[in-house]
Amino acid sequence: MNEPALHVLLDQNVPRAIADWLRALRPAWRVSHVTEVGLDGRPDDQVFGWAQQNNAVVITFDEDFADLRMYPLGRHKGVVRLRVWPTTIEETQRGLERLLTAVGDHDLIGGLIIVDAHRIRIRRRASQ
């Protein structure tokens, strides 16, 4: 049986153009941007709640989502924290291309992934 397509939610600080770019790059994925689902301007806890209800990995520049006290590993579908600068469409695409080249879809699920200019760090619960 096929696994369901990966669902990702792009936070409001991720350029909206990245949604279309990701859809073209990963057509099997379900890609949503907060502006498309009525979450534009909403606080992190509402974005996080929507992501959990919809089984979506959050992709964000927001450092709060990398705070394991607020968003413990194993209690969410997954978080990708982008730390690329500047936060342009082009640099965002480069960071995500590096990520998608380095890891498989299954690696995006359940952990915290931090993508910066030089490396990709993956944190998972000890039992994963």
β-partners of residue 112 are: 79, 123
Alpha-carbon distance of 128 to 56, in angstroms, equals 18
Q: What is the pLDDT of residues 17-41, one digit of tens each?
A: 999 999 999 999 999 999 999 999 9
Q: What is the pLDDT of residues 82-126, one digit of tens each?
A: 999 999 999 999 999 999 999 999 999 999 999 998 899 999 876
Cβ contacts of residue 123 below 8 Å, gap of 6+? Answer: 68, 73, 111, 112, 113, 114
Cα 58 to Cα 1, 113, 116: the distances in Å are 26, 10, 16
